[in-house]
Structure 1
Amino acid sequence: MTEVKICGLRTAEAARTAARIGADYAGFVFAPSKRQVTAAEARALIAAMRESGEGTKAVGVFVNLERETLVRIMAEAPLQVVQLHGQETPELCRWVKETFPGVRVWKASPIASGDSQRADLQDAVKLRLDRYAGVIDALLIDTHDPVYGGGSGKTFAWEVIPAYLAWCRQHGIPLLAAGGLTPDNVGELAGRYAVDGVDVSSGVETDGMKDLDKMRSFVERVRRIV
């Protein structure tokens, strides 16, 4: 089954809805962003989410994470996944896993506009990612954003997905895809490329706020995929 992550939650209503509609993961952004939350806000949102069920896991999203920052946030907000969207090293990924046993580490890999044209894409993926083998629990591919690291709301060339999927299969970890996904296009991506998970933020928003009907529609479209 393709898993669903709804990212950038900022209200208790949206957090409760994410759990109620069966999202597998709820993302809380700690990096500079219009969706950024504090540790205290995340704690309250996670508590609200738990009111609607225990099945949705809390994901903290960071860009160029500093160790002291994560220690402080984890003391307040019970995150189950740490998603790293910057230039974090394999050593930092390993430190997260060793310091917070049971917490999963996801590493984001940005997809540049020219990647789909590379004849050596498979080799480039290996060169970029092999050093993370064994120290991350999932890989997330997202459209490159030079400012925020991700969350641009823009799609990338989906033709690159098989190269990343092959790397993930080789190392026994899931592949998640983000970048410009909406209820209208997520079924095509997940159905065509068999990714293990999809990640959405702006695609389920209206006027910059989470749209509860769009959230439901997104999850429903994914669940229809056989």
Structure 2
Amino acid sequence: MRCIKLCGMMIPAQLHAVRSLKVDYVGAIFYEKSPRYAADIPGFSAAFSQVAQEKNTLGVFVNASSDKIYAMSERFPFSTVQLHGTETPEQCRSLRRSFTVVKAFGVDAFFSFSEVAAYEDVVDFFVFDTKCSGHGGSGRSFDWDILHAYGGDTPFLLSGGIGPHTLSAIRDFSHPALMGVDINSRFERAPGDKNMEQVEFFCKEYKGYD
């Protein structure tokens, strides 16, 4: 599978543009401390709602209560929730009654996949990102060979520093649970402002041309 998640969307016009691209998940960040916080942007909800009629939409949260997630889903109709903090397996299991649930983990040379095991049966897929001091992406890659230590059955997206320049490396990387990639900051002119020409190029090269 070659799934693409395009995350950190902020500009309504770019949401409209992504509708014609080979993107499977379109994500918005609802973590107030993120420079890509999208909830207060004029016109964003309407544009996001239109995308939700055609693609899988995703909301990213960090240590948010389930009540807050449900309330935000009333304003922004996402079908998938990505949890990027220290959310418990119990919360994931509960949210999964209403949403597709994704759990993100920051990976470095010292990461132990025993942390992942408790979430195997309560989420739909993982995001393995580069570990950094804060929450969210760093725009840097980690050593993907670390992922060969992951032997679980839950599929995952590869994240962290992925851009047009990494297409060759992505094609060369293989793992039985790899479902695709998560792209964000390497396609930006500024936080949330995507270079849509680069996104389109990447999608066509990664998925192939019709």
Give yes or no for TM over 0.5: yes
2:167 is the alignment partner of 1:186: yes
Q: Please tell me the residue identity of whatever aligns with 2:67.
A: E
The yes-or-no answer on 1:93 pairing with 2:92 is: yes
Q: Deviations over 1:134-165 (max 9, x none)?
A: 11000110011222x2211111111112223x
Could you tell me how far 1:223 is from its partner in structure 2? 0.8
2:120 pairs, out of 126, 129, 133, with 133
Residue of structure 2 in register with 1:65 after alignment: 64
Once residues 47 and 18 of structure 1 are traced to their aligned partners in structure 2, the CA distance between those partners, rounded to angstroms, is 13
CA contact (8 A) 2:49 2:77 kept: no
Partner residue, 1:47: 49
Structure 1 equivalent of residue 28 of structure 2? 28
Indicate whether 1:216 and 2:203 are aligned. Answer: no
Whether the aligned pair in 2 keeps the contact of 1:205 and 1:214 (CA below 8 Å) is no
Higher normalized helix content (fraction of residues): 1
TM-score, normalisation: structure 2: 0.89
- Extract unaligned runs of 5+ from structure 2: none
Task: Indicate how the Cα distance of structure 1 residues 42 and 144 shifts in structure 2: closer, same or farther if over 3 A, else same.
Answer: farther
Tell me the amino acid that sits aligned with residue 30 of structure 2. Answer: F
Give the match's secondary structure for 1:132. coil
| One-letter identity of the residue aligned with 2:14 | A
Give the count of matched residue pairs. 204
Identity %: 28
Match status 1:10 vs 2:10: yes
RMSD in angstroms over aligned alpha carbons? Answer: 2.0
Aligned partners of 2:44, 2:57: CA distance in 1, in Å?
A: 9
Moved more, 187-196 or 154-163: 187-196
Cross-structure match for 1:111: 107
TM-score normalised to structure 1 length: 0.83
Q: Distance in 1 between matches of 2:186 and 2:202?
A: 9
